[in-house]
Amino acid sequence: ALGGRYSFAAAGSRQGALVGLELAVAQATIDPDGGRLGVEGRVVGGWGVALTRQWTVLGTVRASWMLDDIDLAAAEDTAAYQARGSGWAVQPEVTVAWSPGGRWRIGLDVGWRVARNTYHGDDIDIDLKESGFVASIGFEYVLSAAPRPLE
């Protein structure tokens, strides 16, 4: 995913609200020989706490809308299926991030994702519902860590 976040933390504060936008390419394999590929736009909101200069903890919720294609291979008694669809997802998560110094940060995200996609094609509609544990590792570049000027 590629995106950005903005923190509303006051100058000198170690915690505060945050918002962000992300754009991601999403891919999933569906056995046997099938899969999904699409693009996902996300809005992120939450709260962050700087434990030290190097360690940060974030609690966030991602709300997503996606467009994707599904491709299911033919089986013994069914034909192949290809369709385009759209859907949404909600993903609450906790992130622990570590900064080795400078402007780089490495984060580990864990959460729970609930998603629903609807596909229309070949006179067949598919309503795909998913939910489950998710985890990811992210690398971030901080554009500016300077506090806003006091007036």
The pTM is what?
0.83
The DSSP bridge partners found for residue 17 are 47
Q: What is the pLDDT of residue 83?
A: 93
Average pLDDT, the chain: 91
What CA–CA distance (Å, rounded) separates 43 from 61? 8
Q: What is the pLDDT of residue 14?
A: 92
81-101 and 104-121 strand pairing: antiparallel
Contact present, 3 and 25 (Cβ < 8 Å): no
Is the confidence at residue 116, as pLDDT, over 90? Answer: yes
Buried b (16+ CB within 10 A) or exposed e, 47-71: ebebeeeeebebebebebebebebe
73's CB contacts (< 8 A; 6+ apart) are: 32, 33, 34, 80
Is the confidence at residue 10, as pLDDT, over 90? Answer: no
Structure tokens that stand for 89 in this block: 């997802």
Q: What is the pLDDT of residue 148?
A: 60
DSSP letter assigned to residue 13:
-
What CA–CA distance (Å, rounded) separates 60 from 102? 24
